[in-house]
Amino acid sequence: MAVDGVDESELYPIAILIDELKNEDIQLRLNSIRRLSTIAVALGADRTRCELVPFLNDSIDDEDEVLLAMAEELGKFVPHVGGAQHASCLIPPLETLCAIEEASVRERAVASLNSVAGALSAEHLLAHFVPLVKRLATADWFTSRISACALFSVAYPRVPNGTRAELRSSFKALCRDDTPMVRRAASSALGGFAAVLEKELIKPELLPLFVTLSSDEQDSVRLLAIENCVALGKLLSREEAQSAVLPATRSAASDKSWRVRYCVAEQLVVLADALGQQVAHSELVPAFVKLLRDHEPEVRTAAAFQVTGVCERLTGIGEGGSGGGSADGAGAAGLVPVLQQVMPCVTDLCADSSQHVRAAMASVIMGLAPVLGKAHTIEQLLPLVLQLLRDEYPEVRLNVISRLHAVNTVIGVELLSQSLLPAVVQLAEDRQWRVRLAIIDYIPLLAQQLGVKLFDAELATLCTSWLTDCVNTIRQVAISNLKKLIAVFGAEWAQRRLLPVVTSVGPSSTFHQRMTALLTANMIADVLPTDTVSGTLLPLALDLAKDAVANVRFNAAKTLGTLAATLAAGGQAAAVASRIKPALTALSTDADTDVQFYAVQALETINQ
């Protein structure tokens, strides 16, 4: 049967979609929208343009989750409607979605519109996309005007000069809109629009808008001024950036809203890069000190995260600095503001009443060691590091531990052993297992710096004690750690300090100790000489293959399989045949099915 010359079977995808989108189950409607690409392929380009897209445009009255999925799918629809020459048919439904109240739907619709615009020819862009931008920019409902702000930077580079002037005028109107949300959207889009604007027009056309927005009565608008400071600083000459951006930066650093000051603190490093080292010395340091002493802990936290980056720029050794090398050769000009203005703030922040501020300081304080140089690190930084290592808040201690290597490379081994090692040893027995875990991760790096003699005297016993820790994660990481230590100190050290501890387990030891011994043997076998494997690790595994606990026996089977591979590779196939295979054969008939499984698996590997 045919309807208007079309077979009913050809209408099936649309009919199914209509039924599903009318269903009360939101998940069913959502699944239908996510299958739009499949339906479009089934319909073909012509019917997708003529039937599916108009139907979707009429169906934009649903839950936000469904509309969000629709906005995302339409952004991928250019190939399904017949390519770039027909892409303009996607504009109507996306325009409707740009007016939806839910911000996430509008943002996705704008992203899809920009994607569609990228596929349009210059002629179609001028005929279809530019009118869309103008309609949204002058719409009565503020949500449409918000969406329009993010579309200018896509259209502007590809239109004639006359149209460009109209777009600039429309954008200016949005920057002065009566609705704060629209001004906020315009401020957010200002940097992107400036990037595509003719350079000679930035100063006369956009800078007045930037000044107006940076002093807006709404803090939600003002806080975006700092992002615009960075964007404009990259586009303008150094002198123009200083004259235009610095006043806004100074004003924002003292803003009555803590959210604005927070944004300044977050962007200080990129601002220093944009403005240059000289301006950073004269202008940004006072603002930075003010933010480090801010009465809001959130602002102090954001500023604390920037301490190392700002100090690197001041001394000229950061990515944005002009110099290189160490702080010792950076000269008094670079270190004076760091030592006299920033370090007193750092000292106060390390004892701040907010644990989040102290945690932020702990995460970056190590980076100051290369900036300060050895003498100032020993005199000023090391006491603060030791103070943070004793902090009552675990995250503070963790942040310090994870970055201790930065200090070690500056102060040297002797001072490291005298000052930091006692703190490390104390933290290795911390009641918080995550702190102990962080110490374990740090040990191999510390071993390289200490050398075998000092390591044996101070930390070797500690490393083996973690094998009996009450937390399984600690034991597992400690086993992996031992392999790294063998790579640092060699097999001879392992035979002397490690293996006696591993092989000392017996029937009287706990179940966990016997399991740990097997897992250790499994882990380190491939980094030890085959003679050591056959003479020390193999007897251990053979003994534990007769253990009363089934879990120990099947782990012994797995370990025997690993040892067999190591011995065979080392030319000791006879030991595999005479010692390992009989033990595995016996385990393959064990009463426990898991033991049987792993024993048979190991035997199959050996036979192969």
pLDDT tens per residue, range 206-264? 889 988 998 889 988 988 888 888 888 788 877 777 777 888 888 888 889 999 999 99
pTM for this structure? 0.70
Average the pLDDT over 571-575 and give the result. Answer: 84
Q: 490-523 burial by CB neighbour count: b if 16+ within 10 A, else e? A: ebebbbebbbebbbebeeeeeeebbbbbbbbbbb
Q: For 343-372, how does the pLDDT look when each residue is reduced to its tens digit (9 = 90+)?
A: 999 999 999 999 999 999 999 998 888 888
Confidence tier at 2 by pLDDT (50, 70, 90): very low
pLDDT of 306: 94
Structure tokens at 185: 């959207």
Q: What is the dihedral of CA 332, 338, 344, 348, to 10 degrees?
A: -160
What single string gives the DSSP state of each residue in 100-126? -S-HHHHHHHHHHHHHHHHHS-HHHII
pLDDT of 250: 84
348 burial type by CB count under 10 A (0-12 exposed, 13-18 middle, 19+ buried): middle
Three-state secondary-structure class, residue 6: strand
Count of CB atoms situated within 10 Å of the CB of 25:
9
Average the pLDDT over 550-573 and give the result. Answer: 88
User: Which candidate, 262, 270, 271, 269, places its Cα nearest to that of 302?
Assistant: 262
- Which one has a higher pLDDT value, 507 or 323? 507
pLDDT of 128: 92
Q: Can you give the three-state secondary structure of 133-187, one letter per residue?
A: HHHHHCCCCHHHHHHHHCCHHHHHHHCCHHHHHHHHHHHHHHHCCCCHHHHHHHH
Q: What is the dihedral of CA 538, 542, 547, 551, to 10 degrees?
A: 60
pLDDT of 514: 87
pLDDT of 334: 63
- Percent of the chain whose predicted confidence (pLDDT) is above 90: 27
Q: Residue 232 phi/psi, 5° resolution?
A: -70, -35
Helix (H) or strand (E) holding 328: none
Average the pLDDT over 75-88 and give the result. Answer: 89
Q: Is the pLDDT of residue 8 over 50?
A: no
Tell me, what DSSP letter sits at residue 88?
Answer: G
User: Which candidate, 473, 485, 528, places its Cα nearest to that of 503?
Assistant: 528
pLDDT of 203: 86
* Residue 469 contacts residue 428 (beta carbons within 8 Å): no
pLDDT of 408: 67
Three-state secondary-structure class, residue 223: coil
Distance CA 295, CA 298 (A): 9
Distance CA 182, CA 522 (A): 64
CA angle 464, 545, 539 (to 5 degrees): 60
* Residue 291 contacts residue 300 (beta carbons within 8 Å): yes
Confidence tier at 330 by pLDDT (50, 70, 90): very low
pLDDT of 29: 79
Average the pLDDT over 475-498 and give the result. Answer: 87
Confidence tier at 18 by pLDDT (50, 70, 90): low
Confidence tier at 323 by pLDDT (50, 70, 90): very low
574 burial type by CB count under 10 A (0-12 exposed, 13-18 middle, 19+ buried): exposed
- Which one has a higher pLDDT value, 7 or 483? 483
The full length of the chain comes to 608
